[in-house]
Chains A and B, each alone.
Chain A
Amino acid sequence: DAGITQSPRHKVTETGTPVTLRCHQTENHRYMYWYRQDPGHGLRLIHYSYGVKDTDKGEVSDGYSVSRSKTEDFLLTLESATSSQTSVYFCAISAGPQGYGYGYTFGSGTRLTVV
């Protein structure tokens, strides 16, 4: 019972093409997050959402957009993929009703390669 699933798990795409990653949760949590993981940088926040249609930028948001039209789905879009966006992307949901202090539950990650 993952409670949170990411799709696709792996993707190879060409430079300049748009790419959308999907995060789906069954926990009805209010907060959802997108992180990217790169060697030497740990996990860095791209965007997050604190409710339907409520989103905000993280520390590395350039080149990315997000949408949340339903509580359960949080989409991350690379409008025009670049090689610097090759990374592992993790979605997370907050484990508590207020999104603070309860830690996150992470999806299994999406490995994206831009060639």
Chain B
Amino acid sequence: AQKVTQAQTEISVVEKEDVTLDCVYETRDTTYYLFWYKQPPSGELVFLIRRNSFDEQNEISGRYSWNFQKSTSSFNFTITASQVVDSAVYFCALHKSSGDKLTFGTGTRLAVRP
């Protein structure tokens, strides 16, 4: 069975601080995809990034960066110089090659205070 764990239920930071959201996954597959989604207070789910299991290169997109480490089964998400607009619930998710379904973690609620 596959599983995604986001141990941090809630994180609160002050604006301009850096923050890392942790994601640990379990799967027996060697081919899979990992995702991060953002859910702002308005409620919609916004796709942030997709990473396949064969690409361990870290990725940076503006203030966002992702660290994928197969050795520890982790796919962590870092926001640099956080802003109030980053306040949201963030979900990590796993899609394995032998199935059609996306498995989500329970989410991390990030609050960025001015």
Choose from B37, B44, B97 the contact partner of A108 (Cβ within 8 Å).
B44
Choose from B37, B47, B50, B105 the contact partner of A101 (Cβ within 8 Å).
B50
Q: Closest approach, in angstroms, between the C-beta of A28 and any C-beta of chain B? A: 17
Instruction: Determine the main DSSP class of A at the interface with B.
Output: strand
Q: Is B85 an interface residue (CB 8 A)?
A: no
Residues of A within 8 A of B100 (CB): 31, 48, 50, 94, 99-100
Number of interface residues of B (CB under 8 A): 21
CA distance A48 to B99 in the complex (A): 12
B106 touches A40 (CB 8 A): yes
> Given A31-B100, A43-B104, A106-B44, is A101 in contact with B91 using a C-beta cutoff of 8 Å?
no
Residues of A within 8 A of B97 (CB): 100-101
A residues near B (Cβ < 8 Å) are 31, 33, 35, 40-45, 48, 50, 58, 88, 90, 92, 94, 99-106, 108-109
List 20 other contacts, CB 8 Å, given A33-B101, A42-B106, A48-B101.
A35-B104, A40-B106, A41-B106, A42-B6, A42-B104, A44-B104, A45-B103, A88-B43, A90-B45, A100-B95, A100-B97, A100-B100, A101-B95, A103-B35, A103-B95, A104-B47, A104-B102, A108-B43, A108-B44, A109-B43
Show 22 A/B contacts (Cβ-Cβ < 8 Å), sorted by A.
Answer: A31-B100, A33-B102, A35-B104, A41-B106, A42-B6, A42-B91, A42-B104, A42-B105, A42-B107, A43-B104, A45-B102, A45-B103, A48-B101, A90-B45, A100-B33, A101-B52, A101-B95, A102-B50, A103-B35, A103-B47, A103-B50, A106-B37
